[in-house]
């Protein structure tokens, strides 16, 4: 491999000749060889491109950057956004906790790409300087948290929320379709009084609706950007009204309602907006875990389990048992939920690392957030398309289990009292007989009264 020499304040560094990054990126690449699949998420790099472009426009409007330099920065940022330069961002999550090296990675790539666009060799007199031009009016301490919010907001709005809404709509449809199917309820995993399958699915619908509402409410906090706080939140070395104007341009370029954070000291040193939004993702993970496990158990069998639901048969389930089909979508979704809950622990711990004017766990926090948001979105889409839409009731099995349930005796409570009703149920269970037979044998009701009072459809 051929190399070129790049320089920074610590001296010379050899950089692969065919790469656009510079000395600071190469130092980070060599000093943090941690993890094999832990690259900085591209969503962060794309967010950096938006904010660098916005900063260039703001600096030009503030008359501290030339129009020519602004246009060069914009051209390269657009290439980054369009994913034309992905190979030039090699850094891992496990780097400085402020994300400085990723900020400089973007600065260096923009500067060196501009050099090539102007038909000049990298290493000769620069047309753009990484620090003085691309990073003008900025610090890693305010750019990285800004990129965190931009990337988190876009991920939620474009991927996670639409996927949850699609699954929610499917459950709404199932709730309506199943509204007249009476089935046995279960509490403590034991038989309980009846309800309809539609009512059961309406519970799943409400769980998702509540989680979705919480997640959407958290977007307002994510829309507040730290850019303009520079090193410690004071805005040192920024033009007048820079923070407000740069947020305006970010909003314009992304199409989303970003605004400047009201307090930059909080924005740099804490990440409560990320904690809040991820708590909503955790809430959804808890709800989805419950839903997927319920569906998996209700479909268990098909002959030796509960078997009330019929799930789509997507693939063979066993390499040794012919004909076996497993609830794989439920299993995949619950594994994703476990990962999201684990990510929440990491984010919570990361958010505690705000010492004085800077939180120093930024890369880990946002990497876990983006993974959770991506996984939940993908898993909801997969579960919706390959499982939820195809769920059907096993009416024969549902009717059989309702008829066989001892808890239908609850309908007799108001007629003969709790204790006599309990005696009927316990005797029937002990003798392996029916409620009706034991109720008549014990002399507590007539056959006619039993048929009149014990009607599952009247107990819902």
100-117 and 67-81 are packed helices; what angle lies between their axes, rounded to 10 degrees?
110
Residue 269 counted as an annotated binding residue: no
The answer to whether residues 348 and 354 touch, using CB atoms and an 8 Å cutoff, is no
Q: Is 337 helix (H, G, I), strand (E, B) or coil?
A: helix
Give the chain's radius of gyration (CA, Å). 30
Tokens of 248: 């305006």
In DSSP terms, which residues pair with 14 in a beta bridge? 5
Residue 98 counted as an annotated binding residue: yes
Residue 139 counted as an annotated binding residue: yes
Which of 433, 309, 373, 395 is closest to 149 using CA atoms? 373
Question: Any idea of the CA torsion for 355, 135, 7, 25, to the nearest 10 degrees?
Answer: 60
Residue 102 counted as an annotated binding residue: no
Residue 325 counted as an annotated binding residue: yes
- Give the residue carrying structure tokens 């995993």: 189
Tokens of 197: 């399958």
Measured on CA atoms in the order 41, 42, 47, 52, is the torsion positive or negative? positive
Catalytic residue of the set 28, 88, 151, 188: 188
Residue 324 counted as an annotated binding residue: yes
Annotation marks residue 202 as catalytic:
no
Annotation marks residue 318 as catalytic:
yes
Residue 326 counted as an annotated binding residue: yes
Catalytic residue of the set 220, 318, 355, 429: 318
Tokens of 242: 């820079």
Residue 327 CA to residue 363 CA, distance in Å, equals 36
Sequence ranges of the binding site for substrate: 98-100, 139-141, 187, 319, 324-326
- Which residues are marked as active site? 188, 318
């Amino acid at each position: 491999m051929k190399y070129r020499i790049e320089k920074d304040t610590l001296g010379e560094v050899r950089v692969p000749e065919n790469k656009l990054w510079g000395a600071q990126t190469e130092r980070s690449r060599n000093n943090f060889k941690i993890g094999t699949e832990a690259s900085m998420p591209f969503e962060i790099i794309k967010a950096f491109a938006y904010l660098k472009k916005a900063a260039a426009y703001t600096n030009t409007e503030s008359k501290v950057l030339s129009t020519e330099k602004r246009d060069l920065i914009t051209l390269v940022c657009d290439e980054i956004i369009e994913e034309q330069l992905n190979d030039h961002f090699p850094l891992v999550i496990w780097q400085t906790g402020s994300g400085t090296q990723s900020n400089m990675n973007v600065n260096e790539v923009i500067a060196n790409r501009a050099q090539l666009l102007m038909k000049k060799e990298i290493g000769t007199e620069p047309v753009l300087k990484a620090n003085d031009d691309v990073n003008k009016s900025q610090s890693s301490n305010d750019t990285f948290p800004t990129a965190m919010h931009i990337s988190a907001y876009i991920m939620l709005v474009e991927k996670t929320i639409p996927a949850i809404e699609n699954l929610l709509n499917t459950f709404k449809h199932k709730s309506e379709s199943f509204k007249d199917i009476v089935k046995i309820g279960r509490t403590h995993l034991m038989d309980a009084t009846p309800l309809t399958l539609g009512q059961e699915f309406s519970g799943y619908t409400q769980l998702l609706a509540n989680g979705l509402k919480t997640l959407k409410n958290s977007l307002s906090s994510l829309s507040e950007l730290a850019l303009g706080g520079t090193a410690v939140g004071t805005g040192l070395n920024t033009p007048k009204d820079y923070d407000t104007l740069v947020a305006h341009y970010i909003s314009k370029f992304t199409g989303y309602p970003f605004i400047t954070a009201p307090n930059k000291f909080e924005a740099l040193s804490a990440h409560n907006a990320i904690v809040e939004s991820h708590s909503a993702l955790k809430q959804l993970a808890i709800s989805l875990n419950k839903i997927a496990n319920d569906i998996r158990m209700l479909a268990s069998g098909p002959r030796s389990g509960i078997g009330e639901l019929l799930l789509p048969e997507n693939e063979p389930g066993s390499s040794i048992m012919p004909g076996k089909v497993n609830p794989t979508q439920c299993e995949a979704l619950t594994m994703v939920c476990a990962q999201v809950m684990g990510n929440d622990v990491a984010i919570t711990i990361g958010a505690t690392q705000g010492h004085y004017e800077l939180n120093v766990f930024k890369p880990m926090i946002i990497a876990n957030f983006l993974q959770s948001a991506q996984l939940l979105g993908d898993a909801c889409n997969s579960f919706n398309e390959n499982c939820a839409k195809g769920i059907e009731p096993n009416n024969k099995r549902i009717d059989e289990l309702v008829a066989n349930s001892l808890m239908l005796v609850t309908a007799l409570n108001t007629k003969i009292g709790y204790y006599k009703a309990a005696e009927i149920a316990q005797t029937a269970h002990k003798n392996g007989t029916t409620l009706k037979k034991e109720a008549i044998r014990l002399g507590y009701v007539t056959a006619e009264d039993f048929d009149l009072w014990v009607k599952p459809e009247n107990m819902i």
